[in-house]
Amino acid sequence: MGVQLATAGISHELEIKISLACNLLHACDLSIDLRPWIDGSCDAVVVDLNDRFGRLVYDMAVRRQLRILAFTTEHNLVDPGTKTLERDISVVAIAMTLREILGGKIRLNSRGNLPGLLGITQRVHGFDEPTVARCGSLEVMLRPSAGRIHFTSRSDIDAAKNRLVDKSWAVSRVKKISIDKQAWANSFSLDGFLIGSCRRHEEFLPVFGEQEYRLTVWPDLGGLIEDVDVLRMTVALHALSWSVTGLANHLGISATRANSFFSATLASGTLERVPKSIHAELGSHFPITSSIQNRVPALLKKVACHFKVRI
Amino acid sequence: MSMPNTGKSVKLLFAGPQGAGKTTAMSAISDVPPLSTDVAIASGSLSDRNTTTMAFDYATVSLRSNEILHLYGLPGQESLDFMGDIVGRGAVGALLLLDASSPHLTEDYAYWINALKKIASGVKIVVGVTKVDVVEWFSIQEIRRCAADNGAYSAPVLTVDPRDYLQIIQLVSLLLLTI
């Protein structure tokens, strides 16, 4: 059974947003049972303080020391322990606040299974046969060994990015002969799609532990323009094995950012877990303390500066 | 045309088969359009291009402190043997552009990786695969497999549009990070 979340005084529009936020949290294994407030038997409440019933439930929840998310524009009038949001906030922001209230981040399980479309991509890695994945009426075609993802329309691309970690993705394998290639004409780099999409959901991805990973193949970063951090992570992970926190510290980026890159490349099959014994061997050949800056002549640094590349 | 002194400058090479987009890519990032040695393709050619580069292209990017990044577009295979040594000398990196619509994609990859290693020993290479959108069922796996089978130099391979400034900058950035 999941977390019991009760709502009170919430408008229909806001209820839809909260419901979508709960679905997002499902993707990172935070299961939420959302229902209206009845008798106070719940783990947390979501209330609108502009509504009289919402205000009443809020006062009861404070007395019972329940976890509370309140929608209000008057943030200074609530109990200090209450999280507040404004009504026009995005679904993602609601999901992030709920997760903050209801529990911490979810760790990647021992089998390294990823959620949603990421998980499907991970499972079909290396397949020569195309695979169609569906999420409601949305369809994408994965060609894992070709490193490509196909869509039937350009608008589906953004929709697929938005639903990347949705748990309702299902898979059906198709034979090459039955594919209408013209219908799937919108094609992109699978690596590029996953890296860009994971960035959008980086707060909701399972957290990698201290285990080290390494890129065994250069990912196709086509389409990931103006993202030097992705290039830096790619180069570092191709040269050496790293943990998420180790890489984040080395490059001076957030662990969340590094974690999203690990998720995308693990799903596409370019990233592999490195056993400790092999890591020790690699470490003796490539000292981790070596800095790329020590090897770059001054003029090359100027070229990098001209193109706004941080090296 | 006098050759610039490359002793105190940075030289980048743009390599690849005819029609892969070398001149276009150079134009995307250079200060002025490349000085080209293009000539008209003879009538009856199967290509839809009107010109091809007989010797090499040259362009510059002005850096701060009046220093220059020199860009050289290498000629096709026919002229590479006698031009390669001259143009390749002192290069720090190469962008290898390959045409995804070519039936010789993997052969081109293997040829140019080996040629670049020969004319500019130790040069770092980043591969950009162009015209992916005109190939109905493109697969990057063919190039990855070719690299693994031949034990070729493991260069990053990216799909790019050579007309797009930001995508060429992405290739150059990746190249700089690997040096």
pLDDT in tens, A260-308: 999 999 999 999 998 865 554 544 444 443 444 555 577 777 888 888 7
Q: Residue B5 pLDDT > 60, yes or no?
A: no
Condensed to tens digits (0 to 9), the pLDDT of residues A229-253 reads 999 999 999 999 999 999 999 999 9
Nearest to A226 among B138, B166, B178 (CB): B166
Of the candidates A119, A161, A123, A122, the residue with the CA atom closest to the CA atom of residue A140 = A161
Query: pLDDT category, B158, cuts 50, 70, 90?
Result: very high
**Rg of chain A over all Cα atoms, to the nearest angstrom:** 23
**Averaged pLDDT of chain B:** 81
Q: Is B38 helix (H, G, I), strand (E, B) or coil?
A: strand
Look at A276 and A219; give whichever has higher pLDDT: A219
pLDDT at site B50: 61
In this predicted structure, the answer to whether residue A96 has a pLDDT above a threshold of 90 is no
**Order of strands, sheet of A148-151, starting from the edge strand that comes earlier in the sequence:** A170-173, A131-135, A138-143, A148-151, A186-189
Touching A: B residues 71-90, CB under 8 Å: none
The model's pLDDT over A173-218, given as tens digits with 9 standing for 90+, comes to 776 667 788 888 889 999 999 999 999 988 888 888 889 999 999 9
The closest of A164, A30, A213, A166 to A106, measured between CA atoms, is A30
For residue B129, report the phi and psi dihedrals to the nearest 5 degrees: -95, 120
Does A226 touch chain B if contact means CB atoms closer than 8 Å?
yes
By CA distance, what is A306's nearest residue in B? Answer: B63
Residues in chain A with CB shorter than 8 Å from the CB of B157 are 218, 220
Q: Can you tell me the mean pLDDT for A79-95?
A: 88
Closest Cα of chain B to A167: distance in Å? 28
Cβ–Cβ of A217/B144 closer than 8 Å?
yes
Average pLDDT, chain A: 85
Asked if the model's pLDDT at residue B49 lies above 70, the reply is no
Kindly tell me if the per-residue pLDDT of B6 is higher than 60.
no
What share of chain A has pLDDT > 90, as a percent?
46
- Collect all residues of chain B within an 8 Å Cβ-Cβ radius of residue A303: 10, 61, 63, 69, 172, 176
Measure CB to CB from residue B63 to each of A218, A231, A302 and give the nearest one.
A302
Q: Does the beta carbon of A170 lie under 8 angstroms from any beta carbon of chain B? A: no
Chain B environment of A238 (Cβ under 8 Å): 156
Q: Which ranges in chain A belong to alpha helices (H)?
A: 12-27, 52-63, 91-102, 116-123, 155-162, 190-200, 228-239, 244-251, 255-268, 276-285, 298-306
> Does the structure show a pLDDT above 50 at B4?
no
Contact of A143 with chain B, judged by CB distance below 8 Å, is answered with: yes
Q: Which residues of A touch B152 (CB under 8 A)?
A: none
Distance of CA A300 to the CA centre of its chain: 35
Q: CB of A292 within 8 Å of any CB in chain B?
A: yes
Report the gap between the CA of A212 and the closest CA in chain B (Å).
21
- Interface size A-B, in CB pairs within 8 Å, comes to 108
* The predicted structure's pLDDT at residue A270: 94
Structure tokens at B130: 């162009």
| Chain B hits for A231, Cβ within 8 Å | 170, 173-174, 177
* Average pLDDT of the segment spanning A12-29: 86
**CB distance B167–A148 less than 8 Å?**
no
CB contacts of B137 in chain A (<8 Å) are: 143, 146, 181
Helix axes A255-268 and A116-123, enclosed angle (nearest 10): 40
Query: Is the pLDDT score of B3 beyond 50?
Result: no
In chain A, which residues have their Cβ closer than 8 Å to the Cβ of B141?
145-147
In this complex, do B9 and A218 lie within 8 Å of one another by their Cβ atoms? no
Report the range of poorest mean pLDDT among A69-83, A133-147, A158-172: A69-83
DSSP line for B93-151: EEEEEEETT-TTHHHHHHHHHHHHHHHSTT-EEEEEEE-GGGSTT--THHHHHHHHHHT
CB contact under 8 A, A181 and B136: yes
Q: Poorest-confidence range of A283-287, B65-69, B153-157? A: A283-287
Q: Is B37 exposed, middle or buried (0-12, 13-18, 19+ CB in 10 A)?
A: middle
> Is B138 an interface residue toward A (CB < 8 Å)?
yes
